[in-house]
């Protein structure tokens, strides 16, 4: 067979019913051969008349024929049941705050350089760190400093923040590891030195001296007292702190605690607890309308009954007598035949019960 460029050997395929021939690239016949087959180039001008014969006419290829084979004997095969299922998808790890994921929670407010807001800014930044503790912005001290600097803006802080950024970059260029904890420790110390409120302790001390309990609101008083002693830097175990706490309580509340709590409280925590308890008792008595002992400082109903029983028509309580020391009550015994006359001495009858029977 000649393809137009070379001659090839053909092989008969005997396994097919019809005549079929095939060739391979390895069956190509060399141009110099012993079969007497010549070879010429398509560009040879002396064979220009025969050049069209070198191109195979375009014809529709015959369809392929697939020889039928005998059916396969499957009697010796075993049946194995199998279930086809799609491969399980790779496990999806829950997204963390690491990498480029956005941080969670509320970021701290922008710090503009006001010293009285520096402590609040650090508190808010710490809260932000607690929420995003697993993110690389907080686990990497270098990035933590850079993040904190991003929340500083304003004429009072811009210059300081710019120098801190240059310092941070210089640390990295000098070979300091971005995981070095001293980067954040040094930054925080510099910030506190530069923007700490120098008058905060003095103002807290002044407010503590002026703090008083208003009405029956013991909870607000305790909360404000705790805040001020923290700002002033006082210890809760200091005896002076305990004295300040008692001075700010309502005098009547102090009297109730000292009267009913035996032994008297000796620690700040115990005083807070007992003061709250007796303030609660007062509120319950007030709701039951049992908190008023008398009207206008006069005798209680029990005192009035005893005074009537004793014939003390003009009886006054110790508070009334103290307010009017020149008063001399006139005693009129209920029975003229009694031996009391004017020898009866006024007495305080704050306790006891009258038998009405």
181 class by beta-carbon count within 10 Å (0-12 exposed, 13-18 middle, 19+ buried): exposed
pLDDT digits (tens, 9 = 90+) for 119-145: 899 999 999 999 998 999 999 999 999
C-alpha distances (whole Å) from 112 to each of 105, 120, 151, 230, 245 are 21, 12, 9, 24, 36
DSSP assignment of 283-323 equals: HHHHHTT-----STT---HHHHHHHHHHT-TT---HHHHHH
- β-pair type (7-8, 28-29): antiparallel
56-60, 122-126, 206-210, 218-222: range with lowest mean pLDDT: 56-60
The dihedral through the CA atoms of 279, 280, 285, 288 has a sign that is positive
Residues 6+ apart with CB under 8 A from 62: none
Alpha-carbon span 218 to 282, nearest angstrom: 12
307: pLDDT strictly greater than 70? yes
Alpha-carbon span 143 to 168, nearest angstrom: 10
Adjacent-strand bridge partners of 279: none
55-59, 190-194, 289-293: range with lowest mean pLDDT: 55-59
Q: How many CB atoms are located within 10 Å of the residue 97 CB? A: 19
Tokens 């000796």 appear where?
A: 266
pLDDT digits (tens, 9 = 90+) for 141-184: 999 999 999 999 999 999 999 999 999 999 999 999 999 999 99
CA 189 to chain CA mean position, Å:
24
Cis peptide before 182 (omega within 30 of 0): no
Query: Which one, of 136, 146, 202, lies nearest residue 169 by Cα?
Result: 146
78: pLDDT strictly greater than 70? no
Q: Which two tokens stand for residue 348?
A: 């305080």
Residues 6+ apart with CB under 8 A from 128: 103, 105, 106, 107, 108
117-131, 192-206, 242-256: range with lowest mean pLDDT: 192-206
CA 298 to chain CA mean position, Å:
58
Mean per-residue pLDDT, 79-101: 54
Spans of all domains in the chain: 7-45, 115-195, 200-287
C-alpha distances (whole Å) from 134 to each of 21, 99, 101, 142, 187 are 74, 10, 11, 15, 21
11-25, 108-122, 162-176, 323-337: range with lowest mean pLDDT: 323-337
Question: What three-state secondary structure class fits 28?
Answer: strand
Query: Which one, of 138, 156, 135, lies nearest residue 147 by Cα?
Result: 138
72-81, 236-245, 271-280, 303-312: range with lowest mean pLDDT: 72-81
Average pLDDT, the chain: 75
What local confidence, expressed as pLDDT, does residue 319 receive? 67
Residues 6+ apart with CB under 8 A from 112: 152, 153, 154, 155, 156, 157
Mean per-residue pLDDT, 207-212: 91
193: pLDDT strictly greater than 70? yes
Query: Which one, of 349, 310, 315, 308, lies nearest residue 330 by Cα?
Result: 315
Alpha-carbon span 226 to 207, nearest angstrom: 12
């Amino acid at each position: 067979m000649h393809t137009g460029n070379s001659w090839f050997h053909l092989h008969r395929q005997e396994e097919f019913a019809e005549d079929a021939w095939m060739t391979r690239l390895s069956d190509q016949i060399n141009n110099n051969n012993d079969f007497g087959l010549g070879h010429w180039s398509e560009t040879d001008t002396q064979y220009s008349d025969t050049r069209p014969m070198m191109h195979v006419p375009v014809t529709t290829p015959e369809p392929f024929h697939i020889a039928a084979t005998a059916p396969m004997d499957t009697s010796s095969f075993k049946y194995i049941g199998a279930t086809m299922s799609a491969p399980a998808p790779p496990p999806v790890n829950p997204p963390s705050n690491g990498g480029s994921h956005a941080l969670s929670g509320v970021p701290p407010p922008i710090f503009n350089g006001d010293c009285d807001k520096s402590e609040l800014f650090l508190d808010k930044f710490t809260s932000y760190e607690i929420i995003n503790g697993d993110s690389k912005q907080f686990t990497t001290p270098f990035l933590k400093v850079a993040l904190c600097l991003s929340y500083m803006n304003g004429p009072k802080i811009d210059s300081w923040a710019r120098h801190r950024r240059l310092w941070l970059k210089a640390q990295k260029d000098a070979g300091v590891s971005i995981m070095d904890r001293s980067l954040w420790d040094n930054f925080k110390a510099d910030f506190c030195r530069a923007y700490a409120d120098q008058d905060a302790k003095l103002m807290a001390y002044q407010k503590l001296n002026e703090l008083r309990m208003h009405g029956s609101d013991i909870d607000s008083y305790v909360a404000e007292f705790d805040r001020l002693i923290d700002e002033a830097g006082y210890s809760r175990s200091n005896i002076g702190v305990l004295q300040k706490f008692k001075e700010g309580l309502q005098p009547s509340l102090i009297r109730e605690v000292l009267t009913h709590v035996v032994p008297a409280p000796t620690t700040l925590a115990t005083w807070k607890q007992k003061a709250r308890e007796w303030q609660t008792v007062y509120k319950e008595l007030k709701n039951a309308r049992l908190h008023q002992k008398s009207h206008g400082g006069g005798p209680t109903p029990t005192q009035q009954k005893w005074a009537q029983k004793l014939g003390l028509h003009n009886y006054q309580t110790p508070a009334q007598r103290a307010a009017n020391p020149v008063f001399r009550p006139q005693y009129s015994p209920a029975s003229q035949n009694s031996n009391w006359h004017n020898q009866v001495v006024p007495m305080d009858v704050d306790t006891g019960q009258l038998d009405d029977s």
